[in-house]
Amino acid sequence: MNKVKKLNVVLAGQANVGKSVIFNYLTGLHQHIGNWPGKTVEKAEGTLWYKDYFIDLLDLPGIYSLSTYSIEEIISREYIAFQKPDFIINVVDATHLERNLIFTLQLLEMERPMVLALNMVNLLKEKGLEIDFKKLEEFLGIPVVPVVAINGKGLTQVLDRGIELVKQNFKPKSLKYGKELEEILENLILTLKDLDLPYPKRWLALKLLEKDQKIEGLIKNKRPKILEKVKELSLELERLHGEDSSIIVAHERCNLVFQIVNETVKITKPKKLSFNEKLDNLTSHKIWGYPIMVTILALMFISVFKFGNLISLFFENLTSGWQEIWQTVLGTSMWSSLGWTIIESALSLISLALPYIIPFYLFLFFLEDWGYLARVAFLTDNLMHKIGIHGKGCIPLILGFGCNVPACLSCRIMETQRERFITGFLVTFVPCSATTVIIMGLVGKFVGISWALILYLFAFLIILILGKLVSKILSGESVELIMEMPDYKTPNLKTVILQTWFRLKEFIFIAGPLVIISGLIITALHQTDYTLKIAEFLSPITVKWLGLPAITGSLLIFGILRKELILLILATLLGTTNFSQVLSQHQMIVLSLVSMFYIPCVATIAALGKEFGWKKSLGVTVFKVIFAITVGGIVSRLLNLI
């Protein structure tokens, strides 16, 4: 029997090319989604057996270049250079060959064996395009395999050709750019000759001409003299081309790609407007786009809430007797209560995940895979700029209305760390479904629906102001929207479901321990009557400053676990849901306001911690507590004036 051979393979490509469909097709459930060490960038790894090979497949993030623009780009190029994968599968969208090939050239510069998986070839005809695969293969010097990822067509061939490359010890030839650039490159490569760095020499030379600061930094540490030579050569190149050398390299790639496409792609018939293009025209329309967006999002919320409520109720009924059974069997001692708390925390996680997080993720990935999210970003970019982020930031904020947890985790769609943090921070101010329960259950029911709406508007105002402030305070340039507008396509359900499943698993791993531990602490406090003491201790804030009954102190402590507990426990303590017995209308408004802002719930704190580090997560939490108390007190005084 043959010995098992291990192969390390990466999938690389731009966004929206079907990379994750291929990844899911090949690895199925044998995948693990985590983060790159120390980074808030998702790392998707999976394994598969193919013939005699055990393949470790890594799905690199969807990027457009190997520069230093985003963390994803740096991670990708470092991975390829340091880990030296046995081969790269470069997934490209055959219907957008020209833009895709720009990235392909950059990958080829990394000088690893590579197979070009030309995806979506089934759509070429409809688009009136014809590609000469053989010729493309000759131009690029690597295997080109036509693929239809959604039904797996061509994928085994991709692996076969890749394995062949490994057997042959294949090295891709480097493609030649313009004559002047090549001369300068040759010269530069000579000076880099005995430099000890894991990157290919030609690639280093190109990056130096592109004024890549990371690479400049590396060289500066090793041999600063080289940088002088680089400067001299760049100037020479700039004199010849009349452009900055960093742009010349990119320009040369564009030129080469243009040539290749010109020779290999034929436009066979004038394009007719397809259904998807008509849909695009309608959904991005400067007037109709907006009502359509509102309708789609409203539908999403209504159906998630309806479905969520149903499941919640069902789940509550199912588990309602469990505590009693537990107590009859194990008594009501401290230890028994703590044991029950663990079960209760686990149940509360399920009751959060099942009705809200899963449906929201399903919707999110469905809309993403379909192509609609990019339209939302296009339509809302203007609005989002007012709060210091760009159009893509709208998506986490919208999700925040359902649950802050998936919203925080979805901040990854923003490019830079700065943008991600601003978005994540603002997300925690969006009233989530639990907050909605409080606002509607207190203010909506006992004060009036208009006051509930005022609270919402107030939240938007706060988000607007804080967004402006934070983007001013945080250093760094705000990023302008540069985004590919993907064509609409039929969403791939398997991808949508798998994405949801792996994100859910991730969420349970982050939030689970924290929810259980904090549940235990709070139960322990409650058992030892400390909650009352804490409520007393907090009374200068709750009673004096906020003008609330002392009991709210312990309610707010419980609310850290899940915000709707504030209302549930109040009802338990009162033995009725007629809250007007203990709270005046003003107090209801203040309590709702404070609950809305005062702290992200434990699960959200965990999500923030995972995405932005525990220091920032704690910082946000402390800020929110102080902020909510301050605002609550001011509003309480203002209300008394009315």
Partner 1 sequence: MKEISLIQAKENEEMIIVSIMAGQVATKRLADMGLVQDTKIKILRKAPFGPIEIGVRGSKLVLGRGLAAKIFVKHL
Among residues 128 and 491, whose Cβ is nearest to partner 1? 128
Q: Which residue from 65, 348, 433, 636 is in contact with partner 1, where contact means CB under 8 A?
A: 65
Distance CA 610, CA 606 (A): 6
Q: Which residue from 33, 74, 250, 574 is in contact with partner 1, where contact means CB under 8 A?
A: 250
Cross-strand pairs, 114: 88
Number of Cβ within 10 Å of residue 130's Cβ equals 13
Q: Which stretch binds partner 1 (CB under 8 A): 41-49, 75-83, 253-261, 314-322?
A: 253-261
Of 232, 222, 473, 504, nearest to 355 (Cα)?
A: 504
Of 337, 353, 350, 351, nearest to 520 (Cα)?
A: 337
Q: Which residue from 18, 388, 391, 547 is in contact with partner 1, where contact means CB under 8 A?
A: 391
Of 622, 625, 618, 617, nearest to 598 (Cα)?
A: 625
Q: Which residue from 33, 347, 413, 483 is in contact with partner 1, where contact means CB under 8 A?
A: 483
For residue 485, the minimal CB distance to partner 1 (Å) is 4
Task: Say if residues 492 and 627 touch (Cβ distance below 8 Å).
Answer: no
- Does the protein bind partner 1 through residue 64 (CB under 8 A)? yes
Q: Which residue from 235, 485, 573, 638 is in contact with partner 1, where contact means CB under 8 A?
A: 485
For residue 529, the minimal CB distance to partner 1 (Å) is 57
- Does the protein bind partner 1 through residue 611 (CB under 8 A)? no
Q: Which residues of 387-409 are buried (b: 16+ CB within 10 A; e: fewer)?
A: bbbbbbbbbbbbbbbbbbbbbbb
Say how far residue 456 (Cα) sits from the centre of its chain. 26
Cross-strand pairs, 187: none
Among residues 16 and 542, whose Cβ is nearest to partner 1? 16
Q: Which stretch binds partner 1 (CB under 8 A): 63-71, 344-352, 514-522, 593-601?
A: 63-71
Distance CA 576, CA 172 (A): 75
Cross-strand pairs, 266: 130
Distance CA 400, CA 424 (A): 10
Of 403, 455, 465, 467, nearest to 593 (Cα)?
A: 455
At 34, which amino acid appears? G
For residue 254, the minimal CB distance to partner 1 (Å) is 6
- Does the protein bind partner 1 through residue 74 (CB under 8 A)? no
Distance CA 340, CA 94 (A): 56
Helices (H), 84-140: 97-108, 133-140
Residues composing the chain: 642
For residue 622, the minimal CB distance to partner 1 (Å) is 33
Distance CA 239, CA 227 (A): 18
Token pair 């102080």 in the structure block, residue: 626
Q: Which residue from 142, 181, 292, 374 is in contact with partner 1, where contact means CB under 8 A?
A: 374
For residue 587, the minimal CB distance to partner 1 (Å) is 42
Among residues 102 and 195, whose Cβ is nearest to partner 1? 102
Among residues 381 and 564, whose Cβ is nearest to partner 1? 381
- Does the protein bind partner 1 through residue 381 (CB under 8 A)? yes
For residue 188, the minimal CB distance to partner 1 (Å) is 19
- Does the protein bind partner 1 through residue 404 (CB under 8 A)? no
- Does the protein bind partner 1 through residue 325 (CB under 8 A)? no
Q: Which residue from 15, 102, 454, 517 is in contact with partner 1, where contact means CB under 8 A?
A: 102
For residue 400, the minimal CB distance to partner 1 (Å) is 22
Among residues 139 and 502, whose Cβ is nearest to partner 1? 139
Longest dimension (CA), the chain: 88
For residue 160, the minimal CB distance to partner 1 (Å) is 29
Task: Say if residues 607 and 458 touch (Cβ distance below 8 Å).
Answer: no
Task: Say if residues 518 and 561 touch (Cβ distance below 8 Å).
Answer: yes
# of chain residues touching partner 1 (CB under 8 A): 42
Q: Which stretch binds partner 1 (CB under 8 A): 64-72, 425-433, 437-445, 564-572?
A: 64-72
Q: Which of residues 151-170 bind partner 1 (CB under 8 A)?
A: none
Among residues 111 and 212, whose Cβ is nearest to partner 1? 212
CA distances from 74 to 8, 68, 81, 213, 588 (A): 19, 6, 11, 11, 50
Give the three-state DSSP class for 34: strand
Helices (H), 386-432: 394-402, 404-409, 417-427
Q: Which of residues 407-446 bind partner 1 (CB under 8 A)?
A: none
Among residues 146 and 308, whose Cβ is nearest to partner 1? 146
Site string for partner 1, 270-309 (x = CB under 8 A): --------------x-x--x--------------------
Give the three-state DSSP class for 59: strand
At 596, which amino acid appears? M
Among residues 194 and 477, whose Cβ is nearest to partner 1? 477
For residue 211, the minimal CB distance to partner 1 (Å) is 7
Among residues 73 and 564, whose Cβ is nearest to partner 1? 73
Beta-strand pair 87-93/114-119: parallel
> How many CA atoms lie less than 13 Å away from 8 in the CB half-sphere?
9
Helices (H), 192-321: 201-209, 213-222, 225-241, 245-264, 275-283, 289-319
Among residues 33 and 254, whose Cβ is nearest to partner 1? 254
DSSP label of 153: B
For residue 267, the minimal CB distance to partner 1 (Å) is 10
Q: Which of residues 199-228 bind partner 1 (CB under 8 A)?
A: 210-211
- Residues lying near partner 1 in the complex (CB under 8 A): 64-65, 67, 69, 95-99, 102, 210-211, 243-244, 246-247, 250-251, 254, 257-258, 261, 284, 286, 289, 374, 377-379, 381-382, 385, 390-391, 477, 480-485, 487
